[in-house]
Amino acid sequence: MTIEPQEYHEALAQLAWQVELGADEAIGEVAVNRYEEKAKPKPKTATAPPVVEAIDEPVDMSAEAARLVAGCGDLVALRAALEGFDGCALKRGARNTVFSDGNPAASVMIIGEAPGRDEDIQGKPFIGRSGQLLDKMLAAIGLNRNAESPEEAVYITNVLPWRPPQNRDPLVDEIAMMKPFLMRHIALVKPRALLLVGNPSNQTLLETNQGVTRLRGRWHEVAGIPALPIFHPAYLLRMPVKKREAWADLLMLKSKLDEG
């Protein structure tokens, strides 16, 4: 097809006129409905399924402790299980695991709350000022932690084997975590009587919110064993006036042992 020069110049002039009006883009013969274009759904692209990370369930350390102690047939195995237990954060800040002191064949098992500074350093329960007072109290009724005779000896442990920071009271979750070790300890020793020293040991083993002031003066029972609450020696050092009541409790213990 041949285009005449006149037709060419006319077409060029029309194009220039359109450009001047703002029509500077080439379009198709059929108008495009831009609104309809936006309404069309965009094609879906294949996407990988979201990655769900596995979340570890928190370990029930009380149940883990119960599992560990179930296989302990003697005190040696129980001590090894306790020293290998890493579920309690107190262990990381302690110098020593305070397991026990005294004669495991003793008629009386004494249970305190937790080690203090001196106990943490030496790895034995009740050896600071309060421990020295406890020894004097026991000696007054013929008992001694170093005695070989079970009738004259005592065996001592705590609710917690590791020192809490700044000697604070044991926390509820710490007690719950370590209680299986304590109950197994009692079952292996099989004492004739338990002496529960201070509020934490009484509240743990007697499962009560009452303090020693309300609990003392009468016998209770723990796992079928007679249990007698007494004031903590540290409390007696601060409140000497309470020594009279403490002496009455010790006489109750002596009377129970003499019944034997």
pLDDT digits (tens, 9 = 90+) for 73-84: 999 999 999 999
Q: Does residue 223 fall inside a structural domain?
A: yes
Please indicate, yes or no, if residue 55 is contained in any of the structural domains. no
Identify which has the larger pLDDT, 59 or 209: 209
Share of the chain above pLDDT 70, in %: 78
Residue 2 falls within a domain, yes or no? Answer: no
pLDDT over 90 (residue 3) = no
For the chain, how many structural domains are there in total? 1
The Cα-based distances of 169 to 17, 159, 160 in angstroms read 95, 11, 10
The verdict on residue 253 lying in a domain is yes
Q: Provide the b/e sequence for 70-96 (b: ≥16 CB within 10 Å).
A: eebeebeebbebbeebeebebbeebeb
Taking the C-alpha atoms of residue 86 and residue 95, their distance in angstroms, rounded to an integer, is 14
Burial (0-12, 13-18, 19+ Cβ within 10 Å), 224: exposed
pTM of the model: 0.77
Q: In the numeric block, which tokens belong to residue 44? A: 């879906």
Structural domain boundaries enclosing 180: 61-259
How long is the chain? Answer: 260
16 lies in a domain?
A: no
Is there a domain that residue 38 lies in? Answer: no
Neighbouring C-beta atoms of residue 219, cutoff 10 Å: 13
Question: Which of 1-5, 103-107, 162-166 has the weakest average pLDDT?
Answer: 1-5
Reported as a single tens digit per residue, the pLDDT across 135-156 is 999 999 999 999 999 999 999 9
Task: Tell me the CATH number at 96.
Answer: 3.40.470.10
Q: How high is the pLDDT of residue 40?
A: 56
Query: What average pLDDT does the structure give for the chain?
Result: 88
Q: What is the pLDDT of residues 62-74, one digit of tens each?
A: 999 999 999 999 9
Examine the pLDDT at 51 and tell me if it is beyond 60.
no
Residue that is written with structure tokens 């609710």 in the block: 159
Instruction: Give the side-chain half-sphere CA count within 13 A for 206.
Output: 28
pLDDT digits (tens, 9 = 90+) for 163-196: 999 999 999 999 999 999 999 999 999 999 999 9
pLDDT at 216: 97
Position 10 scores a pLDDT of 73
